[in-house]
Amino acid sequence: MAEDLVLDTAIRDWVLIPLSVVMVLIGVLRHIVSKLMRSSQTPDAKIVREGQVMLRARNLRTAANFIPSKAFRARKLYYCNEENGLLFVPKGQATNPQAQMFSDPNMAMDMMKKNLSMIIPQTLTFAFVNFFFSGFVAAKIPFPLTQRFRSMLQNGIDLSTVDVSYVSSRSWYFLNLFGLRGLFSLILGEENAVDDTQRMMQMGGGFGFDPSKGLSVEKDNLDITQHDWALPNFEHHAEDVLKKVVS
Amino acid sequence: MVTKTEESQLKNLEIQVDNGGGGAWEYLSLIRKLKVRRSDKVLKHGLSILNDSKLRSNLGPEEWTLYEQVAVAAMDCQSLDVAQDCTKALRKRFPESKRVGRLEAMLLEAKGSWDMAEKAYTSLLEDNPLDQIIHKRRVAMAKAQGNISGAIEWLNKYLEIFMADHDAWRELAEIYLSLQMYKQAAFCYEEVILAQPTVPLYHLAYADVLYTLGGLENVQTAKKYYASTIDLTGGKNTRALFGICLCTSAIAQLTKGKNKEDKEGSQLQSLAAKALEKEYKQRAPDKLPQLTTALKSLTLSS
């Protein structure tokens, strides 16, 4: 089963390289189109304020040991007070970010546009690959694979005796899909619209920035924080520093 | 705050550009990135690039950013015609732009026509209520007109929305200090310390305010903050060293009747006094006798 098939170099010239070039070009095209189609999001004042409150509360938590305990306690009360504390969000008002996402027409349109711009080129390119480049062995993968991958990697090749390492061009397409991400970040800068895999990972997790949940989380964190004033230690450190300076 | 490497990089570029070497564009870009205020240099070198049409076309679309930078620098140096030319060029290129509108309002402010500038800013804010720069310009205008209470009001309104902006807190603290509202200034400095706890400047300022407020607890806290400043600067800050000596003697005066532990205090004070003497010997030896008499009077009164 381990005979070496000799693959025509013409395959390399006319299949592998053009396919990569086409994918790069399509990626660049998508990036440009997405830039043109991006609608400007006017941030809501309330959301900005909540974001800033969270930042300030987080600063308070991290650097709490640097201010006197009276000041810390005053601020903690200011934030966590049951009735009019900054971080307190009454149960009914807590805006569900998911519902907000779908009801807000702008955001829904944005998401749809992003999804479409991802799906359509992928489908088109896939069909293109299948139409033009199917039915022959395109490349040999340098490591051995099990038989399970045969159906995925060898779709056009109907010979069951061929080693699974010889794959069709569909697998070259998939390889390029995931591999060109690095190339795109070099050419197009860090934030490019072609980063599908990143977005696919994001879709599973939360949607960006959910303010109300964030606020109650911050409030709980702040309630827990204890104040351990670091300044007296600084006095001792200062003595040591000065001893070194004076000596 | 600018880091040390960035500062040295800026200085090198500045020397290079001043002495006729190339690199003016990198220098201007670095200034823009670090938000440093070197308006006269920006004006000089920016104009030299803009007036040379070949260099200008080399910049491509960045040319307009340069126009904006030079316009602001010109306004800072009071060369209003230069600023007006730049703004006109920008307006021709971007007729509907809010950024250009902002520049024009700033030009009105620089000319001194406060009411027109105020109107322009208010209308810009109606379109875009979350523009931080316009809010800050309004505060600056109130301050320039001498309307300090108006400035405080605007700044407080700004901070209600953008409460994580530590530069704004710092500005508010300085305004309060100028009005001698020390308690409020102390609060603002606490906010700044929370945002950037490792910057010794803010510890020093907070300690100064606490010492000025007076009262045993405040002076004790002030001493601790002077100590933290010394720790953060490696003992090189003269003001903090003086602060320690003054605080210790003030504490001793305030606790004359009571028996508090002053063992650790005196060690810190004597160390600070020695460090001060050493520094004065190195840097200003003729002032050394004045220093020694001052320190002696402090320790005698304690």
% of chain A residues with pLDDT over 70 = 71
Which of A43-52, A109-118, B66-75 shows the lowest per-residue confidence on average (mean pLDDT)?
A109-118
Predicted pLDDT of residue B175: 92
Give residue-wise pLDDT tens across range B17-66: 887 767 788 888 888 888 888 888 888 888 888 887 777 777 777 888 88
- At a CB cut-off of 8 Å and minimum separation 6, what does B70 contact? B42, B43, B46, B47, B50, B82, B86
Contact B225 A55 (CB under 8 A): no
How many Å apart are CA A169 and CA B147, to the nearest integer?
73
Mean pLDDT, chain B, whole residue set:
84
The CA-based diameter of chain B, rounded to the nearest angstrom, is: 79
Which residues are CB-neighbours of B301 under 8 A, at least 6 positions away? B249, B252, B253
At how many degrees (to 10) do helices A211-224 and A69-80 cross? 140
- Mean pLDDT taken over chain A: 72
Mean pLDDT of A179-196: 68
Confirm if B82 and B74 have CB atoms less than 8 A apart: yes
For A167, the 3-state DSSP assignment is strand
Most confidently modeled range among A86-90, A243-247, B100-104: B100-104
Chain centre distance of CA B231? 22
Q: What angle do CA A123, A127, A131 make, to 5 degrees?
A: 175
Q: Which residues contact B299 (CB under 8 A, 6 or more apart)?
A: B249, B269, B273
Q: Using CA atoms, how far apart are residues B226 and A234, in angstroms rounded to an integer?
A: 9
Containing A49, the helix (H) or strand (E) segment is helix A45-62
Lowest mean per-residue pLDDT among A120-129, A155-164, B92-101: A155-164
**Average pLDDT rounded to a whole number, residues A52-72:** 82
For residues A41-64, average pLDDT: 78
Within an 8 Å CB–CB cutoff, is residue B131 touching chain A? no
DSSP character at residue A140 = E
Structure tokens at B81: 């015609």
User: Between A158 and B34, where is the model more confident?
Assistant: B34
CA atoms B207, B211, B214, B217: torsion sign: positive
More confident residue, A88 or A141: A141
Residue at A76: amino acid letter: K
Those of residues 171-230 in B touching chain A at CB distance below 8 A are 187, 190-191, 193-195, 197, 221, 223-228, 230
Contact at CB, A238 and B268, closer than 8 angstroms? yes
3-class DSSP assignment, residue B129 = coil
Q: What is the pLDDT of residues B197-228, one digit of tens each?
A: 888 899 999 999 999 998 888 888 888 888 88
> What is d(CA B19, CA A23) in angstroms, rounded to the nearest whole number?
49
Q: Is the pLDDT of residue B239 over 60?
A: yes
* Residue located via tokens 């210790």: B248
- How far is A162 from chain B, CA to nearest CA, in Å? 56
Helices first, then strands: H and E counts in chain A: 11, 2
Q: Which of B199, B266, B267, B279 is nearest to B231 (CA)?
A: B199
* Least confident span in A27-41, B156-170, B210-224: A27-41
Is residue A167 within 8 Å of residue A153, measured between CB atoms? yes
When mean pLDDT is compared across B50-64, B105-119, B281-295, the lowest value belongs to: B50-64
Give the model's pLDDT for residue B12. Answer: 84
The residue with tokens 């003269």 is B238
Point out the residue among A49, A66, A245 whose CB comes nearest to the CB of B193. A66
Reply yes or no on whether the pLDDT at A101 is more than 60: no
Q: Determine the Cα–Cα distance for residues A211 and A44; give it in Å rounded to an integer.
A: 12
A5: nearest Cα among A175, A164, A129? A164
d(CA B78, CA B72): 10
**Residue B1 contacts A, CB cutoff 8 Å:** no
Q: Test A59 with B194 for CB contact under 8 angstroms.
A: yes
Q: Give me the mean pLDDT over the B161-185 stretch.
A: 90
Q: Indicate the angle between helix axes B98-111 and B132-144, nearest 10 degrees.
A: 10
To the nearest whole Å, the CA of B278 is away from the closest chain A CA by 7
Distance CA B10, CA A237 (A): 33
**Across the interface, do A245 and B161 touch by the CB < 8 Å criterion?**
no
CA of B144 vs chain A CAs: smallest distance (Å): 28
Among the listed residues A66, A237, A67, the one whose alpha carbon sits nearest the alpha carbon of residue B264: A237
For B271, the closest of A59, A231, A242 (CB atoms) is A242
pLDDT score for A123: 84
Lowest mean pLDDT among A18-22, A90-94, A172-176, B130-134: A90-94
Q: Return the pLDDT at A182.
A: 79
Beta strands in A75-227 (DSSP E): 139-140, 166-167
The alpha carbon of A192 is separated from its chain's Cα centroid by a whole number of angstroms, namely 11
Instruction: Flag whether pLDDT at A208 surpasses 50.
Output: no
Pairwise CA distance, residues A212 & A95, whole Å: 6
Taking the CA of residue A20 and the nearest CA in chain B, the distance in Å comes to 31
Looking at residue A211, what is its pLDDT?
47
CA atoms within 13 A on the CB side of A74: 8
SS3 B62: helix
pLDDT bucket at A156, cuts 50 / 70 / 90: low
pLDDT of the residue at A207: 42
Please indicate whether, in this complex, the C-beta atoms of B224 and A59 are within 8 angstroms of each other.
Answer: no
Which residues of chain B neighbour A242 with C-beta distances below 8 Å? Answer: 230, 235, 268, 271-272, 274-275
Q: Which residue of B has its CA nearest to A47?
A: B161
pLDDT for A108-132, tens place per residue? 676 777 777 777 877 888 888 778 7
Q: B96-197: what fold?
A: 1.25.40
Contact (CB<8Å) A234/B161: no
Which candidate from A52, A64, A246 shows the least CB-CB separation from B274?
A246
Position with higher pLDDT, B115 vs B17: B115
Closest CA to A136 of A107, A157, A165, A160: A157
Distance CA B154, CA B170 (A): 15
Instruction: Judge whether B268 and A242 are in contact, CB under 8 Å.
Output: yes
Asked if B194 and A48 come within 8 Å (Cβ–Cβ), the reply is no
User: A6-20, B66-80, B249-263: lowest mean pLDDT where?
Assistant: B249-263
Reduced to 3 states, what is the DSSP secondary structure of residue A139?
strand
Beta-sheet strands, E only, within A42-183:
139-140, 166-167
Query: Buried b / exposed e across B206-235, counting CB within 10 Å, b at 16+?
Result: bbbbbbebeeeebbbbbbbbbbbbbbbbeb
pLDDT for res A50 = 78
pLDDT for residue B26 = 83
Q: Please give the Cα distance from A192 to B243 (Å, whole number).
A: 53
The pTM of the whole model exceeds 0.90: no
Per cent of chain A over pLDDT 90 is 0
